[in-house]
Amino acid sequence: MVNALLFLDGINAKSHDGLKSKFLQLYVKTNLVDMDYGKLYSRLIDWRQESDYSVYVDFEESDVFPIIDKVEKFNQFLIEIIDTKK
C-alpha cells in the first residue's frame, strides 16, 4: 500500500528501507499521516526485514495480536488516500 501511494506521487524506492524512509519523510514528518501510523509501519518493515534475513524468527502472539486492528485501520487509511489520488 505504501509503495502504491509513493508510486502515485512519482516516487520509486528501490528497497524496503527506501520505502520506509520516503514514507516517513514525505508523509509522516509533514503530518499527512499520523505519527502512530509511521511507528506502526516502521515496526512492520523491521519485522519483515528480520523475518527475511534471519535464520529463525519467532513472533509472539502478545506482539502480533494487539496490532491487527491497527494494521487494518492503517490499510484502510492508505486506501482512502490512494483513492483520492486516482
pLDDT (0 to 100) of residue 62 = 94
Residue-range domain boundaries for the chain: 2-85
Our CA dihedral for 72, 20, 34, 86, rounded to 10 degrees, sits at -70
Q: How many CB atoms lie within 10 A of CB 8?
A: 13
pTM comes to 0.88
Mean pLDDT by 10 residues, the chain (86 residues): 95 92 97 97 93 85 95 97 90
